[in-house]
Structure formats: structure tokens, C-alpha cells
Amino acid sequence: MDQPYRDTQVSLWPPGLTRVPYWVYQDRETAQAEQRRIFEGPVWNYLCLEADVPDTGDYRTSFIGAMPVVVARDLDGTLAGFENRCAHRGALICLDDGGSLKDSHCVYHAWRYDLRGNLKSIAFRHGVNGKGGMPADFCMEAHGPRKLRLATLCGLVFGTLDPAAPDLEAYIGPEIAARVRRVLHKKVEVIGRFTQALPNNWKLYMENVRDTYHASLLHLFFTTFRITRLSSGGGVLVSENGFAHASATIGSPPKHDPSYAGIRSDDQGFVLRDPSFMDAVNEFGDDIQLQILSVFPGLVLQQIHNAIAVRQVIPTGVDTMDLHWTYLGFADDPPELRAMRLKQANLVGPAGYVSMEDGAVGGFVQRGSAAAEQADSVVEMGGVEAASQDTRATEASVRGFWKAWRNTMGV
């Protein structure tokens, strides 16, 4: 591994996992190092769903950090992944979000690639009328985009550039892998998708996803309509390496709940014009009302009642990111349940009844800490460890994120 990307900054990092310096959200050199060490390093990046590429020739474009990539279903039925970059002059090979093709041609100079990203032909390779063309000894096999190692879990497709990356399930950990299987336990269908642009560093969103402390404080809808409160049952699971987490709300909060008295999100008498919005089916055979799961660096799997979605975090700059949302149903959904999922999809997203605030609060931190490069955030709720706890009044899984980040960055 190369040397620490910034010795002076690294030396300023406080010991332990309970303090995070604000410069990590602001520093351009850090963002460049993250691309090399994290996204292109020994991690598993979520790329797409197997449902996105069900048949031979189907492809889906995605990202590994800033790197555009393609996932395709090859002629033999296997999945292949490669960098979406022509070996000639660096243009995108595939321009659309997805589709079906036998091979692909770079629009710039018509260099042709197969479904595994291998260069197969070059326009006018031998010139025209005996003039021009590529050198006689040009070797096409030596030129092409970088290839990915792929792995799948419950229909989720992950990719890595590092041949030394551990087995995917070992990377996620058995407890979190079991929580993935709990939700994605049968064939899924995509029922909607969109992209949301956020005005903050990507790490602030991933911290927010793991932050069980804020959910019933920031999100008025959660508490008012009793989807989740910290007085409900549940807790957080954090994998030993910090790469994955799952939080769960079990059961409903008590009807008389003094723990929220006087807090902004206490019950203020709001009602729903359509109470059926809160109807839910216990389709997972347990009493988990809400589960949020993440896999480092950028995957989120949600189950809020019957609203299931995958979120993919894509950095687009030091202080900007895109959030790709994919809403899911199961192939055998009866019409009533599918209608319920679509209605509950309004819980999350840019204008979601629950998660609207998440689209803003990361920007509040980005702006609030703009002149605080030498200051630190405090991550001490629930102690100092990055370990599973039977409470959600904790920041243990946030500390798990920073454990994974620091170890991968070599900090």
C-alpha cells in the first residue's frame, strides 16, 4: 500500500473512534485517496441487482466511486463487470443506464467490445487503401478497460478491483448477511427508481444511515405515527470489521411514552387523512417494523413496514453526492400488497414523509463545519466501542463506519 496520503492530517486524528475531524468531509486530497484506497481497494462495492440484467446481453451501468462501470450478462449466462472506459481515448463505452446488446461500440471512434469488456475490433485498424491504420504489431488483447471481480448475495451484485478482497459473506459478516437474507428472501422486481443529488460529502450520508440516535428526533413522522421510537424494542448489529451494520425496530412503542415529553418530535396531534397509509403486512415472519442495513462503502438496504428499497451512494465531489434509489417488490406480490408497497414508497426519498429531512441535514453539517477543519464531531452515544448493542440510543454503528474507513485508508 502507498504511504499515508497526508501525514500531517493523520497525525492530528484523535485516538479511538469517538472523535471525527471535520477535515475528512472537506479535503480534496482525502477524496482522491478514498478513490484509490477504498473504492478501488479491498472492498465490495454494490453495483446493481441481478434483476437488472436477467437475460443474455442485458447490461446495467453503475459506479465504483468516481469510476463508471458496466455489469453485463454474458453469452454463457454469467455476470461480467468492467470499467466503462474505451481503451482508445477514454470515452464511455455504454452511454445508457441499461439495456440489451450483443456487443458495444464506443461512439467516438467505433472501437468494439464484447460483453466481458474485451476489445474485439478497431475501426480502420488496417487503414484505408493501404494507408494509415494501427501498427502491425498492435496487440488488442493488451488493451481494454479494467475488469471487475463480481459476487452476488440475494440478488445484489457487488464488484471489486482487488483480487485480495475477502469473500463477500466474510466481508459482510454472518449476522448481517442473515439480515440481508431476511428481507431479500425471494425473487424481486424493480417497481421504481430515481436519483437524488445531495449537497454533502458521501460519508455524511453513510453516517446518517448508521445513526440510530437521530431517527425519532429528526423525523417527526416516525415518532408521531409510531413507526419507531427509541423506547421501542430493537438494537443494532455491527460486524466485527465495521464494514456492515443492521438496525432494527421491534414492536411498537408504548402508548404512554414519557421519554419523548417536551422533545420536538413528541406527539403533537397530527393525523393522516388516509389512515390506510399505515397499514402493513407481517411478511417476514417477525415483529421487525423497520430495518436499515448498510454495507461499506455505499450500500443501504431498507425495510420500513412493507417499503423495500436499495440505495447506492455515489460521490460526485468533495461536498456533493448522488443517491440512487431502487424500490423493490417481490415477483409473487398479490395486487393488494404491491399497491401497499407503492403507497408506502412515499415514506422515503427527496419528499418522503420520513426521509425528506435526511436530504437536508447532511448539507447542514457540511455548511456548519465549513470553518471547523481543526475541530471534531463527538460520537460517544452508547460508549466508545463499535460493537452490537441491544439499544438504538447509541452511535455504535457510526463508530463501526469509522473503524472500516480508517482501517481501509490506513489511518
DSSP string covering 184-198, please? S-S-EEEEEEEEEEE
Q: What pLDDT tens digit does each residue of the chain (411 aa) get?
A: 455 555 545 556 888 999 999 999 999 999 999 999 999 999 999 999 999 999 999 999 999 999 999 999 999 999 999 999 999 999 999 999 999 999 999 999 999 999 999 999 999 999 999 999 999 999 999 999 999 999 999 999 999 999 999 999 999 999 999 999 999 999 999 999 999 999 999 999 999 999 998 887 877 787 777 777 777 788 999 999 999 999 998 877 776 777 777 676 555 677 888 888 888 899 998 989 899 999 999 999 999 999 999 999 999 999 999 999 999 999 999 999 999 999 999 888 888 888 888 899 999 999 999 999 889 999 999 999 999 999 998 999 999 999 999 999 988
Domain range list for the chain: 45-151, 173-409
Q: How far apart are CA 149 and CA 89, in angstroms?
A: 24
C-alpha cell at 268: 403533537
Question: Burial level of 256, CB count in 10 A (0-12/13-18/19+)?
Answer: exposed
Identify the three-state secondary structure at position 234: strand
How many contiguous H segments (helices) and E segments (strands) does the chain have? 10, 19
- Provide the CATH topology of domain 173-409: Naphthalene 1,2-dioxygenase Alpha Subunit; Chain A, domain 1 (3.90.380)
Q: Which helix (H) or strand (E) holds 207?
A: helix 202-210
Full-model pTM: 0.94
- Nearest CA to 300 among 244, 378, 236, 373? 244
- CATH code of the domain occupying 45-151: 2.102.10.10
